[in-house]
Amino acid sequence: MCAPGEHHLGKLAGWSDTLAWGMAGVLAAYAGIAAAVASKRPKGAPGKKSAVLGAWLSLATAMSAQPVSHMFVTGHWTAEPRPPVWLVVTVSCVPPLVLGHLLHLAATPVRVTPVAAPAAPVTAAEEPTDPVAVPPAPAWALAVPASAHLLPIVPPAPKVIEYDDERCYAIRPLYEAGLRPGTKAMRTALLAAGFADCSDGIIRGKLRDEIERNEPHLALLPPAPVSIGA
């Protein structure tokens, strides 16, 4: 709402109708840039007080331009036959003063807190050459003397399974292939070991049951493929 008053004063100072709108643009930019600089710079930094002062000056200038323009519009003051000298000089000096202050804010450096440099690593030549006494190792009550000869760790022997029916010993090696043998393969193993031919019921119901009862993991093996025509 202050822009029309600022435009009116620009025309009274001698600018054309189009160029006089620059007065409103200059004051709006002044207020925005000064407020941004004042809020971004930390307390005590260079240019902090100047930016705060510029923000207040931009508001004061905008508020002053509005009532002065209204005084001429409402007839309390007159610009006839020509505008007052003080008005022409004051309004004409506003843009360069604003630009100068903004350049001053832009050129003012921001104080940077120095960061401590990391300590240089100690090289081998700079390391102390004095011998450092190493404390002796604590004497634990149950510590083994260094001169003691320790026996090697021997894993425990696997559990030996004793089958009730000795025919199981002829069938058990068939499981070592990683497959659960079929009835025909187990009968062939029995015949090769010298045992008489056994029925399918004895092989499946007694011998296989005894082996897989003593070793349950063998019952989980996949069945061996059946060869057709063998």
Last residue of one domain, picked from the residues 87, 107, 127: 107
- Tokens found for residue 45: 């930094």
Residue 118 has pLDDT above 80, yes or no: no
Last residue of one domain, picked from the residues 56, 76, 107: 107
Higher-scoring residue by pLDDT: 107, 138:
107
Cα separation, 47 vs 60, in Å, equals 20
Identify whether residues 18 and 102 lie together within a single domain: yes
Whether residue 128 is contained in a domain is answered as no
Task: For 158-192, write each residue's pLDDT tens digit.
Answer: 567 788 888 888 888 989 888 888 888 888 988 88
Identify whether residues 101 and 172 lie together within a single domain: no
Q: What angle do CA 30, 31, 33 make, to 5 degrees?
A: 65
Whether residue 142 is contained in a domain is answered as no
Identify whether residues 88 and 183 lie together within a single domain: no
Task: For 24-77, write each residue's pLDDT tens digit.
Answer: 888 888 888 878 887 877 777 777 788 888 878 878 887 788 888 888 888 888
For tokens 């090696």, name the residue: 173
Q: What is the mean pLDDT of residues 65-93?
A: 85
Last residue of one domain, picked from the residues 88, 107, 126: 107
- Tokens found for residue 105: 């804010």
Q: What is the mean pLDDT of residues 198-213?
A: 86
Whether residue 96 is contained in a domain is answered as yes
Whole domain around residue 82: which residue ranges?
3-107
Residues 163, 167, 169, 174, CA torsion sign: negative
Whether residue 118 is contained in a domain is answered as no
Whether residue 153 is contained in a domain is answered as no
- Tokens found for residue 196: 């008489």
Cis bond before residue 83 (omega within 30° of 0): no
Whether residue 122 is contained in a domain is answered as no
Q: Report CA Rg, the chain.
A: 52
Whether residue 143 is contained in a domain is answered as no
Overall pTM surpassing 0.85 (yes/no):
no
Query: How many domains does the chain fold into?
Result: 2
Judged by DSSP in three states, 97 sits in helix
